[in-house]
Copies of this chain bind each other. A is one copy, B any other.
Amino acid sequence: MDKLLYGSAYYDEYMPTDRITTDTEMMRSAGHNVVRIAESTWSTLEPQPGVFDFSHVDRAIDAMEAAGISVIVGTPTYAVPTWLVASHPDVLAETRAGTPHYGARQIMDIAHPAYRFHAERVIRELMKHTAQRKGVIGFQIDNETKHHGTVSAPVQRAFVRHLREEFDDDLDALNRAFGLDYWSNRVDAWEDFPDVRATINGSLGAAFDRFRRGLVEDFLAWQAGIVREYARDDQFVTQNFDFDWGPGWSYGVQPAVDHFSAARTVDIAGVDIYHPTQSRLTGAEIAFGGDMMRSVKDGANYLVLETQAQGQLGWLPYPGQLRLQAYSHLASGADGVMYWHWHSIHHSFETYWKGVLSHDLEPNPVYEESAVVGREWEKHSDALLHLRKRNRVAIMVSNEALTALTWFTLETGFIDGAFGSSRGYNDVVRWLYDALFALNVEVDFVHAEGGRLDDYDLIFTPALYSAPESTLERLREYVADGGHLVSTFRTAVANEHLEVWHDRAPHLLTDVFGATYNQFSTPDGAGVTHDGSTTPAEIVLELLTPLDAETLASYDHPAWDRYAAVTRNPFGKGEATYLGTKLSDEATRSVLTDALRRAGAWSWPQELAGTVTVRQGTNGRGRPLVYLLNYSPDDVVVAAPLDGTSVLDGRAVSAGDELGIRPWDLVVLEG
């Protein structure tokens, strides 16, 4: 792509009147240059089995081509038509909650042959029909694909076949690896293999979850293969990845998909990022999603395929926020931003997930603000396109640790929900990410199994509960070779089968951290004393005993005051810090500042932390590009960090010049 993409999802199917010409004119006048179509419209594309109707697709592509607007065509497979379920009721995935009835999207078993058969036919027809259209620049396969919680019988049988292979048909090995002797769960004949949906064995349950993440990868690869039989070389294939929705919006590692593995299937990563606005707009979620999408494709630029225009009722942006958000995506490395969706829908589930246009389909403040963005991007595309980053700091993430901590939760040690709920893996990830974001530290994510570590000065492992021994060995070497490692509580506890290591904790790393523990508990009112001030400990207390490490913080508690809470230890050429509990924001900032400085990862953006948010990189024409983003309702003033040009107003700027930034506004400097 040679320009920034800006636009929205467009559904001619859902329009109450024939107004596509009005819409394309409104888009053009607002500088929109792309639409995404067809995703989830299977029932209009194929109203009856084998009967195809491309009229809406044709109308949309015709109108967009006429208006010079590019089109991304989505395969429609993430919502199944009524006739498919009427003929094959068992395409609906059985889940732990039971058998669903027809209605919502994402309720089918993505491995079911009847679903696959019909999905393949409609994809092939759609591709034949659209691949040669000039206006079509790429294809999105399915949407926000997951395994939808399937526990359908054929999936369970496939899982057992998978285990037979993994364990080379050796049931003893499997029983041992998973600890199935406990509570008489042992399996001594493959034909006795029990339904796994109610298992209380975390090793088995997590293996099943991992297997189901594999189903997603298989499915995407299969769809991509079909699409590529028809796509031109200049057309891309993408997927719309999304994240943990735990806080009520996109923030956190996706539990049901390993994005690193799944991203191999696509040419360019696509993502949807939904986040709070109004007084709760901080930029953290946008940055997180962007950092992850870059990381899963080795730093390549990505497309924001969906983000909110007006969004949910509480997300209506204040004046300025829509524009600030759009730039925030670019500042993380996006090459395009598309809203979900052009017009608010007049019916059904997402009537109040509002688009650029309200239900009256007339211009409104959000549309007007998007037009400002569109016109700016038309003008400054060259400066803003293809931002590349070279980050010094990385966070190691793991779907496996995430899953493990739903079976052995941080606060109770039991299955999530069995004795109340608990904060989970992503709460720890978000804690560190928020702290780093607040310090203007840009990060990459690295995969626990196979990510490159040498690129980074400083690596964090939030609650890396379970990992194969090889990962721990690589972390060990990383520090020995001069890297700086910061690990939190519940790191290096268990192996890849969730068997807790039976030697000193943290396994293989006690000398790296120069500390160990053999008891841990819940906070029970404990504080952490660091640098003379005491703030509360949260989630869990690992009672650390330094071996060689320096104690950076201790517990403030009548029974546990002999134990360390945070330790630091030189190891080889590097250094390793261990956090035995969740610290307060204040203490976290202090410990992280220290770690960043000692790792040589402290620079001028950190000095601006608290004033503006800084993101930077090198743009497509090879020049340094700096974003100064004001996520606040107040005017701020900062000194320009470099000589260059203020991109959006063309002003020349010298390092040290005072730059005033209005509420929810920004400055982009090109060096």
Contacts and interface: CB of A to CB of B under 8 A. Distances in A.
Interface in A128-150: none
A41 B184 contact: yes
A272 to B, nearest CB: 16
Interface in A61-84: 76, 79-83
Contacts of A42: 184
A369 to B, nearest CB: 12
A580 B582 CA distance: 44
Interface in A184-212: 184-189, 191-195, 197-203
Contacts of A522: 313-314
Contact of A412 (B105, B313, B358): B313
B414 A349 contact: yes
A504 B501 CA distance: 65
A181 interface: yes
A86 B191 CA distance: 8
Given A200-B103, A278-B559, A504-B362, A521 B316 contact: yes
A105 B201 contact: no
A586 interface: no
A101 interface: yes
Highest count of chain B CB atoms <10 Å: which of A76, A200, A518: A518
A276 to B, nearest CB: 10
Interface stretch (A43-51, A285-293, A616-624): A43-51
Interface string A202-243: 110000000000000000000000000000000000000000
Interface string A246-281: 001000000000000000000000000000001100
Contacts of A503: 360
Interface residues of A, number: 104
Closest 7 CB pairs of A and B: A179-B347, A352-B413, A101-B198, A43-B186, A102-B194, A103-B198, A43-B184
A100 B414 CA distance: 19
A639 to B, nearest CB: 27
A537 interface: no
A184 B40 contact: yes
Nearest to A345: B182
Contacts of A44: 181, 184, 186
A519 B104 contact: no
B559 A319 contact: yes
A502 B633 contact: no
A316 B345 CA distance: 51
B366 A519 contact: yes
Nearest to A96: B101
A174 to B, nearest CB: 12
A178 interface: yes
Contacts of A344: 500
Interface stretch (A12-20, A28-36, A386-394, A431-439): A12-20
Given A347-B498, A500-B347, A103 B360 contact: no
A31 B489 CA distance: 34
B183 A104 contact: yes
B48 A188 contact: yes
A518 B362 contact: yes
Looking at A182, A314, A346, A350, which has the most chain B CB atoms within 10 Å of its CB?
Answer: A182
A180 B43 CA distance: 9
A99 to B, nearest CB: 10
Contact of A83 (B192, B319, B414): B192
Contact of A189 (B83, B419, B540): B83
A312 B408 CA distance: 12
A502 B359 contact: yes
A319 B185 CA distance: 36
14 contacts: A40-B184, A41-B184, A43-B181, A44-B184, A81-B192, A85-B194, A103-B199, A182-B347, A183-B349, A279-B525, A316-B520, A353-B413, A360-B504, A364-B518
Nearest to A494: B346
A178 B347 contact: yes
A524 B314 contact: yes
A222 to B, nearest CB: 20
Given A181-B43, A184-B42, A313-B540, A194 B101 contact: yes
Nearest to A504: B360
Interface string A305-317: 0000010111110
